[in-house]
Amino acid sequence: MSAFKFERASSASSEADSSGSGEDHETEGADGDVTKLQAPKPKSEAKSPKYPQSPSKSFPKKKVRNPSTSTIDTINKSSRVYHTGLRVLYTAGRPPWYDTHGDLTEAFVIGVCGGSASGKTTVAKRIIEDLDVPWVSLLSMDSFYKVLGEKEHEAANKNNYNFDHPDAFDFELLNKTLKRLRSGKKVDVPVYNFVSHSRENVTKTIYGANVVIFEGIMSFVNKDLLELMDLKVFVDTDSDIRLARRMKRDITERGRELEGVLKQYNKYVKPAFEHYIAPTMTYADIIVPRGGDNKVAIDLIVRHVHSQLKKRGFSLRQSLANSGNNGQPPPSSLYVLESSPQVKGIHTFIRNKDTPRDEFIFYSKRLMRLLFEYAMNFLPHKKVRVETVQGVQYEGSRLDSKKIVGVSILRAGETMEQALCEVYKDITIGKILIQTNSITGEPELHYLRLPKDIKESHVMLMDATVATGAAAMMAIRVLLDHDVPEENIILLSMLMGDSGVHSIAYAFPKVKLVTTAVDKEVNDKFHIVPGIGNFGDRYFGTDYSSFKTEQVTAS
Ligand X SMILES: Nc1ncnc2c1ncn2[C@@H]1O[C@H](COP(=O)(O)OP(=O)(O)O)[C@@H](O)[C@H]1O
For ligand X, the binding residues (CB under 6 A) are 114, 116-122, 245, 249, 291-293
> What DSSP state is assigned to residue 58?
-
Torsion angle of the four alpha carbons 493, 495, 499, 502, in this order, in degrees rounded to the nearest 10 = 40
Which residues are CB-contacts of 151 (< 8 A; sequence separation ≥ 6)? Answer: none
Among 6, 108, 145, 526, contact with ligand L45E5XJ5 (rule: CB under 6 A)? 145
Query: For residues 369 and 364, what is the distance between their CA atoms, to the nearest angstrom?
Result: 9
Report in angstroms how near the CB of residue 174 gets to ligand L45E5XJ5 at its nearest. 14
Q: What are phi and psi of 252, to 5 degrees?
A: -85, -35
Q: Does residue 424 touch ligand L45E5XJ5 according to CB under 6 A?
A: no
A 10 A CB-CB count for 527 gives 18
| Peptide bond just before 530 cis, omega within 30 deg | yes
> What DSSP state is assigned to residue 103?
P
Q: Does residue 164 touch ligand L45E5XJ5 according to CB under 6 A?
A: yes
Return the amino acid letter for 113: C
CB 439 within 8 A of CB 454: no
Can you tell me whether residue 135 is helix, strand or coil? coil
Q: With CB under 6 A as the contact rule, which of the stretches 23-31, 115-123, 202-210, 334-342 interacts with ligand L45E5XJ5?
A: 115-123
199/347 with CB nearer ligand L45E5XJ5: 199
Report in angstroms how near the CB of residue 120 gets to ligand L45E5XJ5 at its nearest. 6
Query: For residues 198 and 436, what is the distance between their CA atoms, to the nearest angstrom?
Result: 43
Report in angstroms how near the CB of residue 404 gets to ligand L45E5XJ5 at its nearest. 45
Report in angstroms how near the CB of residue 249 gets to ligand X at its nearest. 4
Report in angstroms how near the CB of residue 111 gets to ligand L45E5XJ5 at its nearest. 13
Among 138, 178, 187, 217, contact with ligand L45E5XJ5 (rule: CB under 6 A)? 217
Where would I find the beta strands (DSSP E) of 207-359? 211-215, 231-236, 286-289, 334-336
Judged by beta carbon distances under 5 to 8 A according to partner kind, the member of ligand L45E5XJ5, ligand X, none in contact with residue 245 is ligand X
Judged by beta carbon distances under 5 to 8 A according to partner kind, the member of ligand X, ligand L45E5XJ5, none in contact with residue 351 is none
Three-state SS letters, 450-463:
CCCCHHHCEEEEEC
Query: For residues 335 and 342, what is the distance between their CA atoms, to the nearest angstrom?
Result: 18
Judged by beta carbon distances under 5 to 8 A according to partner kind, the member of ligand L45E5XJ5, ligand X, none in contact with residue 194 is ligand L45E5XJ5
Judged by beta carbon distances under 5 to 8 A according to partner kind, the member of ligand L45E5XJ5, ligand X, none in contact with residue 122 is ligand X
Judged by beta carbon distances under 5 to 8 A according to partner kind, the member of ligand X, ligand L45E5XJ5, none in contact with residue 291 is ligand X
Judged by beta carbon distances under 5 to 8 A according to partner kind, the member of ligand X, ligand L45E5XJ5, none in contact with residue 380 is none
Q: What are phi and psi of 452, to 5 degrees?
A: -55, -45
Return the amino acid letter for 403: K
Q: Does residue 269 touch ligand L45E5XJ5 according to CB under 6 A?
A: yes
Q: With CB under 6 A as the contact rule, which of the stretches 76-84, 114-122, 279-287, 359-367 interacts with ligand L45E5XJ5?
A: 114-122
- How many angstroms separate the Cα of 334 from the Cα of each of 1, 329, 465, 466, 505? 49, 10, 14, 13, 8
Q: Does residue 117 touch ligand L45E5XJ5 according to CB under 6 A?
A: yes
Report in angstroms how near the CB of residue 170 gets to ligand X at its nearest. 19
Can you tell me whether residue 104 is helix, strand or coil? strand
- Residues within window 190-209 making contact with ligand L45E5XJ5, judged by CB under 6 A: 194, 197
Q: At what angle do helices 295-312 and 120-131 cross, to 10 degrees?
A: 50
Q: Which residues bind ligand L45E5XJ5 (CB under 6 A)?
A: 116-117, 120, 142, 145, 156, 163-164, 194, 197, 217, 269
